[in-house]
Amino acid sequence: MKRSFAAALLFTVLGCGLLWIGTDGLTAFTAEAARRYAIQSHPRPVPAALLEDQDGRIFSLRDYPDKLVAVEFIYTRCATVCSTLGMGFRQIVDSIPAAALERDFVLVSISFDPQHDKPEKLKAYGRRFGADGEGWRIARVRSEADLKSVLAAFGITVIPDGLGGFEHNAAIHLLDRSGRLARITDYDQPLAFATYVRTLL
| Residue 88, H or E segment | helix 81-95
**pLDDT of the residue at 39:** 86
Q: Hey, which residues does 117 pair with through a beta bridge?
A: none
Q: How far is CA 179 from CA 68, 71, 162, 182, 196, in A?
A: 8, 12, 35, 9, 17
**Are the C-beta atoms of 59 and 139 separated by less than 8 Å?**
yes
Summarised one tens digit per residue, pLDDT across range 138-190 is 999 989 999 999 999 999 999 998 888 899 999 999 999 999 999 999 999 99
Q: Hey, which residues does 62 pair with through a beta bridge?
A: none
Summarised one tens digit per residue, pLDDT across range 91-110 is 999 999 999 999 999 999 99
For residue 59, the SS3 value is strand
| C-alpha–C-alpha distance, residues 6 and 95, integer Å | 58
Summarised one tens digit per residue, pLDDT across range 57-69 is 999 999 999 999 9
CB count in 10 Å sphere of residue 15 = 10
**pLDDT of the residue at 35:** 75
CB count in 10 Å sphere of residue 108 = 22
> Mind listing the domains of the chain with CATH numbers?
2-40 (no CATH), 45-200 (3.40.30.10)
pTM for this entry:
0.83
